[in-house]
Chains A and B, each alone.
Chain A
C-alpha cells in the first residue's frame, strides 16, 4: 500500500497577475511527491518551495478538498480536473502520474469565466443562471407535510442524479463551445422531474436558458465533452430533457 518512492515532476503552469494581464506559462519542478499526495497537496509543496524562495505562490481555488464544494477548477494536461473519471482535482492523487512526467496546468477557459488571477476564474455567471429560476418559489414555512408529496423512487433517483451537480464549471471548460448546457440542464431537469417543480417548469426553463445566453455561454453541438469532464458524472440526457422542457414551454 504505502511505499517510499518519490516522484519529481515538471509543471508548466499558467501565471497571470490579474484580469488585465496577458498571462504566460512558467515552469516549475515538484520534488519529493509520493503517490499519496493529492494533486492539490502536490501544488502545496510547490507553493511552499516558491514562498521559501521569495517568489509568489501559484494562486488556485480550493476549499473542501473532498470533492463536493466545486471550488477547484484547473485544466490539467488539457482535461478539466485532470481527466480521472468522476473525480474532482482535489481527489485526484499523484499515483495517477509517473516520475518524470511533465504536467500542464491551466485555468478554466471560457468567455463567461474571466480569469481573476493565475488559475482562479470568476464563475458568478453560474449563480446568475440559478438566480434566473433554479428554485421552487416556496416560502419558508406554510408547506405541507413532507410525506403528502409522494415521488416514485425511480423519479426521485433520477432527480438526485441531476441534483448531484457541484457547480464547478468543468462542463463549460471541457466544451468546445463553452456551453453551460449540462449545468443548466441538470437543474432544470431536477426540478422538472419532481412534482414540486412542475408548476413553474415552463417559466423556469425559459428564464434559465435566457440567462445562459445573456452570460455569454455557447450552445450545445453534441460533443459530450461536458459529461466526460463532469466530476459527478452528470449525464447529457439532462440536456435532452431540458430541450424537451424548452419545446414544451413554447406551447405552454
Chain B
C-alpha cells in the first residue's frame, strides 16, 4: 500500500495556516460532549491534555508514574530550539526547517517540519507565560546557546534542566485543568491494550498498578504520547519504566510502525562501569559548546592519565574531521566517530570504550567560575557517578541509546492509519527523519501537544458522533480478557530466569547487531536470535507475586515481552533499508571516507510496517518523501 501523509500542498510557508483554515471546527458547546483519552503525561501528553481540557473537551489522562510530573521528558537537560532569531545571527523559520531536514538526513516530511519550525516560536512565548524560568542575560532578555547541527544560537535553556522546567510548565497547566474538572487524571495506570471497534480507536485497557485491576476506558479519540523505545537496548538513557508497550499494543491492533530502525545513539553519556549497571546517564550535548573531544593519537597512550599526554599526541578527531562544525557535529556523526576511535584501539577507560571531553582550554579561556555557571550541575552529576572532578581531569564519555526517531506512522494531522488514534511526540515518527538534532525533542513534544493536536483533533471529531461507544461494548471485554490471560500466563511460568536477565540478553543482541554499525550478517543474526530468546522467555521466565497487587516484576515482564517482539521488527526494518542514513548505519553502505551513503533513488520513503502475527513477516507500506523546498543533497558537516 502506498501511504498518503495528507500533507497540504502549495507554498510551504502557507501550508499550516491554510490547513488550519481548512480543518473543520467543533463548536464550543459541543466540545464537552467529546471524550478524549491521553496516554502519557510528558511534554506531548501533558501539553495536549492541558490544552484539550482548556478547549472544553472531556479529557482522561493516564500515566504509569505516581504523578504526571515525573514523565521522562523531565530528564532533558540542554534546551529547546526556536527560530526566534533573538541573537540576530541569521536564523529564520526556514533555516530551522532546513537544519532539521538536513540533520534528519532527508528522511522526514517537509510539511511537518515546516510546521514544527513555525510553531517553535509560540512554544517559547507559551512557556514564558507559564512562568518557566529560562536563562536570561543581564538586560533581562532571554539567552541562547548553540547545539549540534546548527550554526546559529537558537537554543533556549534553563540551566542544565530545561526538560524539567518545560515539563513542570505543562504539568502546572495540566494541574489547573484537573482542578477545573476538565481533565480527569489517572496516575499509576499502564495502558496494556488499544480497543478498536469497527476499525476505529475507541478506548484503552489499563492495569491499575496499585490494585492490579484491569480497567476499561472509552473515548471518541485516543492520543498516545508514550515516548520512545530505546530501552529495547536494555541500557539506555531512558527511565526504567519507558517501554514500547503502548505503541506496540497499538501496532498489534493494526497501527503501522514507521522507521523503527532509526534510533539515536547519543554521543555524550557516561560509559558503562559494570555488568550490574541498570541505566546509562546522559551528559547534555550543551557540554560540547565548550568541551573538546579527543583520544590519544597512539594506542600505547590509552592507559596513561590524560594529563600526561602532551598536546601533540592528542587527536581532536571531530575538529580534525569536521572543521566547520567541530565538536558540534550532529549526534549520529559524533557517536559513530567515537566508536571508530575506540574500534581502532584508541578508546580510554575500562574496556577501552570511552573518549575524553576536555574543559581545560575553556577553563583557561573563560575561567572555572563561568564553566561552573554554565554546566555546574552536570559536573556535579558526573562526579557523583564517577568520583572524578571534571574541572581537573577530562570527562570520559561514550555513546548510549537515547531517542527513537521511528514510531507509529501518522499523517499530517498526527492521526495513525487507525481512525481516532493520534500519536504525539517521540511516539510518532514524523519530524526527525533518520536523526534528531539536539534540543528538538522538547520542541516537538510541545509543538504536537500545545499547537498541533488542539487543531487537528477537532478536524477529526467534527465528523464523529460523540459518545458513540461505551465500555459495555464487547470489544472492551475481549481486550480485558486478553490482558488478563497474558498476566496469568506470565505469572504461571515460574521458570528459572528473572525478567531483568532476559532484558539484558535482548539488550546485548540489539546493541551488538542493531546498534551503531549494522550489517546484513549482524541483522540476520538478530532476526534469528530474538525469536529464540522470546521462546525461552515464555518458557523460563520467573515472575514472583500475584496480579492483584503492586507487582513491579509483572509490570516489567510485560514490557520486556513486548520488546522481545518489537526488537525483531527493528532488525527487519534495518535489514530492509539498504542504505545508511542518520542513526541507521549499514557498514555495506558508506562513502570512501566512512560517511553514511544514502540511497535516495530506492529508499527516499517512510517504511511503515503492518503487524501480521508473530510467526508471520510484517508487511511493508511505503510513503514516498518529496523534497520541494529543501533540495536533496549529500549531508556534509565538513
A residues in contact (CB < 8 Å) with B: 1-2, 17-18, 34-38, 40-41, 44-45, 48, 51-52, 54-57, 59, 61-71, 84, 86-87, 91-93, 95, 116-117, 120, 122-124, 126-127, 130-132, 134-141, 143-147, 149-153, 156, 159-160, 163-164, 166-167, 190-191, 194, 196-197
Contact = CB atoms under 8 A, between A and B. Distances in A.
A41 B75 contact: no
Contact of A65 (B70, B173, B239): B239
A131 B140 contact: no
B240 interface: yes
B550 A63 contact: no
Given A36-B274, A44-B276, A131-B176, A66 B281 contact: yes
13 contacts: A41-B278, A63-B241, A64-B74, A71-B65, A71-B66, A117-B549, A126-B67, A127-B175, A132-B179, A140-B451, A143-B128, A153-B140, A163-B168
Contacts of B589: none
B54 interface: yes
Contacts of B86: 147
A147 B387 CA distance: 40
B130 A87 contact: no
B550 A117 contact: yes
B541 to A, nearest CB: 10
A36 B275 CA distance: 11
Interface in B306-343: none
B153 interface: no
A94 to B, nearest CB: 10
Contacts of B50: 140
Nearest to B48: A140
A51 B165 contact: no
B129 interface: yes
Contacts of B47: 140
B229 to A, nearest CB: 16
Interface residues of B, number: 85
B126 A56 contact: no
A81 to B, nearest CB: 12
Contacts of A18: 549-550
Interface stretch (B23-31, B355-363, B377-385): B377-385
Given A69-B74, A139-B54, A57 B552 contact: yes
Given A87-B384, A136-B129, 13 more contacts: A1-B386, A36-B274, A41-B276, A44-B278, A57-B553, A66-B75, A69-B70, A93-B384, A117-B549, A141-B451, A147-B86, A163-B133, A163-B168
A197 B131 contact: yes
A34 B274 CA distance: 9
**8 nearest CB pairs, A to B:** A150-B140, A135-B172, A143-B129, A36-B273, A140-B51, A146-B128, A160-B133, A138-B129
A93 B133 contact: no
Given A59-B550, A150-B140, A164-B164, A44 B500 contact: yes
A85 to B, nearest CB: 10
Nearest to A37: B276
Interface in B168-183: 168, 171-173, 175-176, 178-179
Contacts of B463: none
A156 B70 CA distance: 24
A37 B384 CA distance: 11
Interface of B: 47, 50-51, 54, 65-70, 72, 74-75, 84, 86, 122, 124-142, 158-159, 161, 163-165, 168, 171-173, 175-176, 178-179, 185, 187, 210, 237, 239-241, 273-274, 276-279, 281-282, 350, 380-381, 384-388, 450-451, 454, 498, 500-501, 542, 544-545, 549-550, 552-553
Contacts of A63: 65, 70, 72, 239-241
B164 A166 contact: yes
Contacts of B239: 63-65, 69
Contact of B140 (A17, A56, A151): A151
Contacts of B210: 116
A54 B133 CA distance: 49
A137 B176 contact: yes
Contacts of A67: 381, 384
A140 B169 CA distance: 11
B175 A70 contact: no
B130 A68 contact: no
Given A66-B281, A141-B122, A130 B164 contact: no
Nearest to B274: A36
B133 A134 contact: no
A93 B387 contact: yes
Given A138-B130, A141-B126, A146-B125, A71 B70 contact: yes
A45 B276 contact: yes
Contacts of A65: 239-240, 278-279, 281
Contact of B67 (A1, A37, A135, A167): A167
A150 B141 contact: yes
A69 B72 contact: yes
A120 B550 contact: yes
A51 B498 contact: yes
A159 B130 CA distance: 13
A197 B72 CA distance: 26
Contacts of B171: 130
Contacts of B67: 123-124, 126-127, 167
A146 to B, nearest CB: 4
A252 B402 CA distance: 49
B242 to A, nearest CB: 8
B130 A196 contact: yes
B384 A91 contact: yes
Contacts of B135: 156
